[in-house]
């Protein structure tokens, strides 16, 4: 098949588009905990030093087999290589703009900053605990919220005992800050 009929673009892809991570606010740094930075760096190294070389080797082997238009190994390899390269570019940019903040080294304070583990009480008396982490390490199921999330934005700079208002898609929510801790996150 003629390359004119194959939809394949060599144009630069949008690195922020389909990564699953929200974009950082304009002009802000990519704050990360040491564990979050290590995780991103490990993924980058895995893709750059292990997976990408294997893909290049597979693509070269598949290309040497002749007709590339119906060569599944070649076509899949090229597609996967584009995905890996896109993720490598994304991780490279995130690591380049990273500012590592270790919550364990912060002086003991009752004020909420990046890296804090905050226990809040709803008006119904139920308590929840959140760790304020970087955008790339947020995991709501584990109680880790990004510093740009509505809850974290409401909590930042508040102190133990303060009641803050959180504007969520479900509406206005008031929570009282019960405890603020700074511990190393795994």
Residues whose CB is less than 8 angstroms from the CB of residue 171 and which lie 6 or more positions away in sequence, other chains included: none
- Residue 10: per-residue pLDDT: 46
Residues whose CB is less than 8 angstroms from the CB of residue 137 and which lie 6 or more positions away in sequence, other chains included: 32, 33, 35, 36, 39, 144
- Residue 141: per-residue pLDDT: 93
- Residue 5: per-residue pLDDT: 47
Phi-psi map region of 147: left, alpha, beta (phi>0 left; psi -120 to 50 alpha)? alpha
Closest by CA to 134, choosing from 22, 52, 48, is 22
Three-state SS letters, 93-115: HHHHCEEECCHHHCCCCCECCCC
- Residue 11: per-residue pLDDT: 46
Q: Please give the model's pTM, rounded to 2 decimal places.
A: 0.81
Handedness of CA 77, 78, 83, 85 (dihedral sign): positive
Mean pLDDT by 10 residues, the chain (186 residues): 48 50 79 95 97 95 85 92 97 94 89 95 92 94 94 95 91 94 86
- Residue 20: per-residue pLDDT: 63
Domain 103-181 fold: Chitinase A; domain 3 (3.10.50)
- Residue 19: per-residue pLDDT: 58
- Residue 108: per-residue pLDDT: 82
**Helix 72-96 and helix 34-46, axial crossing angle in degrees, nearest 10:** 150
Sequence ranges of the domains in the chain: 29-99, 103-181
CATH number of the 29-99 domain: 1.10.287.180
């Amino acid at each position: 098949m003629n390359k004119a009929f194959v939809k394949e673009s060599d144009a630069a892809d949008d690195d922020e588009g389909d990564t699953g991570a929200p974009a950082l606010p304009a002009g802000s740094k990519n704050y990360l905990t040491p564990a979050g930075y290590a995780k991103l760096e490990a993924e980058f190294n895995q893709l750059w030093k292990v997976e990408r070389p294997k893909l290049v080797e597979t693509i070269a082997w598949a290309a040497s087999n002749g007709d590339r238009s119906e060569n599944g190994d070649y076509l899949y390899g090229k597609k996967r290589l584009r995905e890996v390269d896109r993720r490598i570019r994304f991780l490279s940019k995130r690591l380049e703009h990273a500012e590592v903040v270790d919550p364990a080294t912060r002086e003991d304070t009752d004020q909420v900053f990046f890296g804090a583990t905050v226990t809040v009480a709803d008006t119904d008396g139920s308590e929840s605990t959140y760790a304020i982490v970087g955008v790339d390490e947020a995991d709501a199921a584990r109680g880790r919220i990004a510093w740009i999330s509505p809850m974290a934005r409401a909590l930042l700079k508040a102190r133990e005992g303060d009641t803050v208002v959180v504007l969520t898609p479900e509406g206005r929510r008031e929570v009282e800050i019960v405890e603020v801790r700074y511990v190393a996150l795994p």
